[in-house]
Amino acid sequence: MTQFYLTTAIDYSNGEPHIGHAYEKIGADAIARYHRLRGDDVHFLIGMDEHGQKVEQTAVQQGIEPQALVDALAARFSAMWKRLDISYDQFMRTTDAMHRSGVRALIERILDKNPDDFYEKAYEGWYCVGCEAFKQDAEILDGKCMLHPTRTLEWVEERNWFFRLSRYADFLRTLLTESATFLQPESRRNEMLALIDRGLEDVSASRSRLAWGIPFPKPLSSGEQQTTYVWFDALPNYLTATGFPDQSGPAKWPAQLHVVGKDITRFHTIIWPAMLKAAELPLPERVWGHGFVLFGGERFSKSSGVKLDVDEAISRHGADAFRYFLLREVPFDGDGSFTYERFEERYNADLANSWGNLASRVIAMVEKYRGGLVPDGAFDDNDRLDTADINAYHSAMGGFLLHEALNRAMACVARGNETVQASQPWALAKATDDRSRTALDAILSLLVRQLARQAILLAPFMPSKAQTVWEQIGGPGSIHDQRFEHLTSLSAAGWSVKKGESLFPKDI
Ligand code: MSP
């Protein structure tokens, strides 16, 4: 089996989960579930970024110990991911002992393989606690970080360990230009190349007045023991989750895919590959830099003050409808807005009136006309048209264009509804001749196998509703154990349908 080791960004433990965090986890979950249906050996990692100044400051503001803060938030985030049916295999916390020793081992390995890559330097500059990064002049507007305009920048003067990032400019340029897939979408790649062309500065790898973190393995020449800079602690989580320095973990390094937001793509495609290169370790195969979910034109974040209660949004129509809406509405390669108006429109049009209605009509007809037993019937042009959409669905999923894949799955749903309209099964059911009987068998057989295909195509997006449809049409076992390779030849003949609860009720 081919390993598919997939990760998401680890979320900062300084506030509640919001729709932006949820969007990334849902998107990555759809990718993980898609790969399981392909038969890949999927390992899906998510987790929490628990060290650093941002977390330390929040704990001070709340008058609690940082450990108590991160423990409470880890419980809160993991409960949210359970509620959203995120099928993660491993939940990483950067306060875990295994991670802490792994980070130290990675830094020691760089010190061993390329000792010149770390050097001591006195530095002064503006530090944004929101980004957990020093900011260059071009990133500051009216004295504020452009990404966190509600926060105050801190002037920091320190002597730190520095990582010689500038040395890796050529390596990174080649990596980004020669591999078309290392960083996608294309627009992000161009942004990163432009950044490299403007010149890469070396980055601080340790912090002096920060207690909440992992001790940097080597003291300064003055003897001062510093704390590892939070990004040097956070990025290696993908590696330490594999058990680094030994490979005792559940997945083997390298990861096949890192899914991260566009604001932190540069950490993943510039600093992280440079660190790995310095440690002489393999690079992750692909990085996907998704866009932002916006609300009233603003992105969600603790500091932007944009509030929309994620629990309330999920409660509106349940986890699956929320997953569907976000991934259908916000293109995975760009930005998009969350509005309750659009949510209602899509829920009614795409889910209740289209897929839900189709499933309930088809099941009712099989019960009424064939006593619940799905008849046999030959494949026809509708199957061929579905196959064309299925092929397009796979190429969209292969390129992580989740909205486009959903579009193709929903085209199959629309075709099912058109089949019902065009064939008028109720009229055929009234006739008593053999030809009408055979024709009705063929239509019902087609409609149920179309539903079965739709359920499998939609399973990565709406895992629980897909299972419900699967059970109602009498599909064997769990839908999540099905395999795409059998999708186009799948026949539902002989299955027993069973009407159940309404799939997408209108009044919850
Ligand atoms: N802790 C760092 C990541 C370290 S990864 C080694 C971090 N945390 S975060 O909590 O601020 O963000 C976590 C993820 O959520 C990031 O990928 C970020 O881009 C994403 N999102 C935060 N707000 C978002 C939206 N409004 N929309 C979509 N995703 C956004 O960055």
In a shared domain, residues 68 and 163 = yes
Residue from 241, 218, 224, 227 nearest 117 by CA = 218
Integer-rounded Cα radius of gyration of the chain: 26
Residue from 23, 34, 35, 31 nearest 334 by CA = 23
In a shared domain, residues 381 and 469 = yes
Q: Read off the pLDDT of residues 391-433 as tens digits, 9 standing for 90 and up.
A: 999 999 999 999 999 999 999 999 999 999 999 999 999 999 9
In a shared domain, residues 279 and 355 = no
With respect to residue 506, please indicate whether it lies within any of the assigned structural domains.
Answer: no
Window from 7-21, 40-54, 298-312, 419-433 with minimum mean pLDDT: 298-312
Q: For atom 8 of ligand 1, which residue has the closest CA?
A: 11
Q: Is residue 300 very low, low, confident or very high in pLDDT (cuts 50, 70, 90)?
A: low
Ligand 1 centroid–CA 75 distance in Å is 18
Q: Would the pLDDT of 76 be above 80?
A: yes
- CA 49 to ligand 1: nearest atom: 1
Q: For atom 21 of ligand 1, which residue has the closest CA?
A: 20
In a shared domain, residues 273 and 345 = no
Q: Give the whole-angstrom CA distance, residue 35 versus residue 415.
A: 26
473-497: average pLDDT: 97
pLDDT at 297: 72
pLDDT at 335: 96
Q: Is residue 304 very low, low, confident or very high in pLDDT (cuts 50, 70, 90)?
A: low
With respect to residue 500, please indicate whether it lies within any of the assigned structural domains.
Answer: no
With respect to residue 163, please indicate whether it lies within any of the assigned structural domains.
Answer: yes
Ligand 1 centroid–CA 24 distance in Å is 8
Ligand 1 centroid–CA 262 distance in Å is 9
Question: Residue 434: which domain range?
Answer: 340-486
3-class DSSP state of 460:
coil
pLDDT at 247: 86
Q: For atom 26 of ligand 1, which residue has the closest CA?
A: 20
Q: How far is CA 122 from the centre of its chain?
A: 39
With respect to residue 456, please indicate whether it lies within any of the assigned structural domains.
Answer: yes
Q: Is residue 191 very low, low, confident or very high in pLDDT (cuts 50, 70, 90)?
A: very high
In a shared domain, residues 370 and 279 = no
For residue 440, the domain's CATH number is: 1.10.730.10
Instruction: Out of 272, 290, 308, pick the residue that ends a domain.
Output: 290
Q: Read off the pLDDT of residues 133-148 as tens digits, 9 standing for 90 and up.
A: 899 888 999 999 998 9
Instruction: Out of 275, 290, 305, pick the residue that ends a domain.
Output: 290
Residue from 130, 99, 94 nearest 15 by CA = 130
Q: Read off the pLDDT of residues 426-444 as tens digits, 9 standing for 90 and up.
A: 999 999 999 999 999 999 9
In a shared domain, residues 470 and 370 = yes
In a shared domain, residues 285 and 347 = no
Q: For atom 18 of ligand 1, which residue has the closest CA?
A: 261
Q: Which residues line ligand 1 (CB under 6 A)?
A: 9-12, 20-21, 23-24, 49, 234-235, 237, 260-261, 263-264, 292-293, 299-301
Q: Read off the pLDDT of residues 485-494 as tens digits, 9 standing for 90 and up.
A: 999 999 999 9
3-state SS string for 329-389: HCCCCCCEECCHHHHHHHHHHHHHHHHHHHHHHHHHHHHHHHCCECCCCCCCHHHHHHHHH
In a shared domain, residues 270 and 391 = no
Phi/psi class of residue 43: alpha, beta or left (left: φ > 0; alpha: ψ in -120 to 50)? beta
Q: Are 470 and 452 in contact (CB under 8 A)?
A: yes
Q: Are 86 and 31 in contact (CB under 8 A)?
A: no
Ligand 1 centroid–CA 179 distance in Å is 25
Q: For atom 22 of ligand 1, which residue has the closest CA?
A: 20
With respect to residue 361, please indicate whether it lies within any of the assigned structural domains.
Answer: yes
Q: Give the whole-angstrom CA distance, residue 133 versus residue 146.
A: 12
Ligand 1 centroid–CA 412 distance in Å is 33
3-state SS string for 131-158: CCEEECHHHEECCEECCCCCCCCEEEEE
Task: Write out the two tokens for 21.
Answer: 């965090």
Q: Read off the pLDDT of residues 353-385 as tens digits, 9 standing for 90 and up.
A: 999 999 999 999 999 999 999 999 999 999 999
What is the amino acid identity at position 72?
A
In a shared domain, residues 281 and 383 = no
With respect to residue 93, please indicate whether it lies within any of the assigned structural domains.
Answer: yes
With respect to residue 40, please indicate whether it lies within any of the assigned structural domains.
Answer: yes
Q: Which residues contact 427 (CB under 8 A, 6 or more apart)?
A: none
Burial code (b: 16+ CB inside 10 Å, e: under 16) for 185-211 equals beebbeebeebbeeebebbbbbbbebe
In a shared domain, residues 282 and 369 = no
167-196: average pLDDT: 96
For residue 228, the domain's CATH number is: 3.40.50.620
Ligand 1 centroid–CA 407 distance in Å is 26
With respect to residue 498, please indicate whether it lies within any of the assigned structural domains.
Answer: no
Q: For atom 30 of ligand 1, which residue has the closest CA?
A: 20
In a shared domain, residues 62 and 203 = yes
Phi, then psi, of 101 in degrees rounded to 5: -75, -30
Ligand 1 centroid–CA 23 distance in Å is 10
| Domains in the chain, number | 2
Rounded mean pLDDT of the chain?
95
In a shared domain, residues 272 and 348 = no
Residue from 176, 163, 458 nearest 324 by CA = 458
Window from 303-307, 321-325, 466-470 with minimum mean pLDDT: 303-307
